Structure 1
Amino acid sequence: MSNITSILLLIFLAITFLQSGYDKLFYWKDNLSWLKGHFAKTPLKNQVPLALANILVLELISGILCVVGCIELLVSRGKVFGFYGAVFSCVTLLMLLFGQRLAKDYDGAKTIVIYFMPAIMAVYLLNWK
């Protein structure tokens, strides 16, 4: 289990993004309604459905890549899928951070930073040869 840290980080990211994607997919109207209010006073106010769809796709891609990355690490010690899962996770979190900062939701932005730390750690660990 030489890759246990990477595996645990990928599981963390997979749970985070697959659950969030599931929530957006199956509770689309509730999420859209809340986000329209959240971004009502920002330049994104007319782009909320498109932004939500974009984040949904990125979260699902991130989560799936992290799951495949875990399997790849366990089966062949390969790091390609896990690395891309971690990178997609970071990009997704940066987009969420940008939205929270734009909406002046600084507490929400702080929460995203907490998720960003393990994601960037995964990128670092999975980028080693």
Structure 2
Amino acid sequence: MEEKRRSRRLDLTGEIIIKEVGGPDNGETVDIKITDASSVGVGFITDKQLTIGDNYEAHLAIWTKEVLHVFIKIVRATVNEDGYHYGGLFIGMPEDIKQRIDVYEIIEDEKAKLGEN
């Protein structure tokens, strides 16, 4: 299958807590499992049903244990045995956060070249 993504997807282990923007009482906090991420978006699994097209506030725990505050627009959804699998695009992503993700991608590429992955 031909790769159509604009950026290479990065496998991250971690969790994000997501809140629906404008929801009642700032929404419900939900734990999710990140399946892949890039500087343009994130894929994740959760047991909560979300709405395609809606925007959500999220706190991403990245590889450095740093927490990034981002906004995600849900663009795709599937259901599998693990729960709901979503794909979302970052909206209004600050340049410094994009650069952190880009740096991680460079480090992972170099590790792969050296056979460390």
TM-score by length of 2: 0.31
TM-score by length of 1: 0.29
Q: Which has the higher helix share?
A: 1
> Which protein has the larger Cα radius of gyration, Structure 1 or Structure 2?
1
Q: Which has the higher strand share?
A: 2
